[in-house]
Structure 1
Amino acid sequence: MNESAFRQALERLGKGKPAPRGAGGTKAPAPKARPARQADPTQRRRKFVQDGDVRVEHHSMATGRATPRAIHAQQEDRSEIEQLRHKVQFEQKLREQAELRLSEAQAQIRSLTTRIGHADVIAAEHKGKLAAQDTELLAVRADLYNAREENDQLREELARLKSRQRTADPRPAPTQATTPQDGTPADEPEPVKWWLR
């Protein structure tokens, strides 16, 4: 296909009858001149895209009237920007809350570490006291054991001495109870002299 074929096709569409093909004796009538249209600034002249060309349209948002598509695009951009701002604010709040929780957790860890340190010191003191008491208790038990051994030895020695004394001393003869001569019976107790005290 070439350019002349396109022109012939366009001429056929415009006249309603085909154009002569040959260069015979008849002359093709000259195309009627179209009246020139006034250039409308809002209307653009259409261009067809050629192979390899990229059509770029420049829209000025600041000047002129905005098309509904441009207004819709601006609204979409604004709503998307607002959504992103809200997301950023939400993420910032989450971060602040996380940092607050982190600082609280670190404070609790420091507090618990301090308490654990104090508890370790107190436990070490109590262990030391308990060890001292254990050694003291062992010493007291050893002293008590020694005292019991000594007491047992003394009792055995006392029992031996008593048995020796019994065998060594003669027994005195039993004496009869004498009755007092002053006229009081022997079973009557003596009066207490309370005024002498």
Structure 2
Amino acid sequence: MRRTGDRQARSQRIERRISAVSSIAMCVLTVLVQIVVTLLLTRLLKEHASLAYAILELIGVVMAVSVFLRSGSPSYKLSWLCLLLVLPVSGMLLFFLWGGTHQAKTLSLKKVPPPAERESARRQSENNVAKLTRKDAAMGRVAAYLQKRDFLLYNRTSAKYFGDGMEFFDDLIAHIQQAETYIFL
């Protein structure tokens, strides 16, 4: 079992490294394309190079405005804006390659599904949320939000607050001493 976990962790590290290297390589490649395009435009279009590059910059500005008007994370949009305005050719190439959409990292990290609750427990949780909502609307909204994410609301439970670790350990020792058959940890 441990070897499988080590293999998975090693595989995930390798995937992250490959992803990082490919991202850096793509950025370096686009900057090189930016340099090559600039040199080619200067070389081939001696008289009209500034006009052609101005058109590319204008297209980059239009794309930057469209990115600015999109909904989404401001920090994500800011990075695209900077890239499109500072290096318009590279920015446009990257924008066309990646579509300008935020892509979450999709490594082989599989989410563990929550335990399957019996339908009766789920219905009881819905009743508990309804009762809580009648008592306190704000707390009811929080409980409903958590329930949608498979955190059910139970009743007839208790919790004890310990101000410091000594109180907790004293209580823990008292409960351990009350054990009759076994202690499950």
Fold shared per TM-score above 0.5: no
Give the TM-score taking structure 1 as reference length: 0.23
| Structure of larger gyration radius | 1
Give the TM-score taking structure 2 as reference length: 0.25
Which is helix-richer, 1 or 2? 2
Q: Highest relative contact order (Cα 8 Å, sep 6+), 1 or 2?
A: 2
